[in-house]
Amino acid sequence: MELRDYIKIIGKNFWVFIIIVVLSTVFAFGFTKNRPTTYTSSTTFTVNKGSILKQSQANYYMFDNYYNVQSAGLFSQIVQLWFESPALVTEIYQNAGITVPNVSQKELGKTFKAVRDEPAIINVSVSGSDKDQLQKLMDSAYTVLQAKTNELGSNDTSFYQLAKFNPVVTKDQPSLLLNSAIGLLSGLILGVLVAFAIEYFKEEK
């Protein structure tokens, strides 16, 4: 079949094609326009390990606390995994004074998104519809994680400390124009397929 044959098929089912295109575009526009407002709060945790002995107090080279940095990097992997623990996420909610969501443990473990970067940096984000709650969750996460860290190092005068940047909260705002364009493109493709399907079944009869 040549291009003009395809155009003829679409022309024969022009109104069906147009209706599908319009409906797809309007649906994408309406869905994006009426989507509930959500926010994302993000911050960065840095794991630090201090040294009891300073270089000036040692008669050997301490490699600029190289081993402390390596140790902090290893411990940051543990902190990252803590964010995936439903038990710890529950404790974060309780410490923040927020009702724990009634979801499965698997979903609860996905509340926070924690991405680790070398050597001991963890970028953490959490999304929701309440800006104040997100702020409380981030502050609570820091408090709970530092408390857990302190428990592990209760018998060690030189353990790990977590440093947290002030959380940044941004509004998740999908592009109305982009989503409408995607809806239009999807409608064009679907409209062509439906037009061809109608023509095919006509010929079968």
Which has the higher per-residue pLDDT, 105 or 204? 105
CA dist 142 and 162 (Å) reads: 8
- 35-48 tens-digit pLDDT: 888 899 999 999 88
Which has the higher per-residue pLDDT, 101 or 7? 101
- % of the chain with per-residue pLDDT over 90: 41
Q: Which two tokens stand for residue 181?
A: 């364009």
Element (H, E) at 183: helix 176-204
Q: Are the beta carbons of 127 and 38 closer than 8 angstroms?
A: yes
CA dihedral 80, 83, 85, 91 (to 10 degrees): 140
Which has the higher per-residue pLDDT, 91 or 151? 91
CA dist 136 and 99 (Å) reads: 12
Q: Is the dihedral of CA 91, 97, 102, 103 positive or negative?
A: negative
Q: Are the beta carbons of 198 and 31 closer than 8 angstroms?
A: no
Instruction: Write down all domains in the chain, each with its CATH number in brackets.
Output: 3-35+175-204 (no CATH), 38-172 (3.30.1890)
- 75-86 tens-digit pLDDT: 899 999 999 999
- 153-171 tens-digit pLDDT: 665 555 788 888 888 888 8
Q: Are the beta carbons of 200 and 180 closer than 8 angstroms?
A: no
Q: Are the beta carbons of 191 and 47 closer than 8 angstroms?
A: no
Q: Which residue, 132, 140, 130, 88, is CA-closest to 109?
A: 88
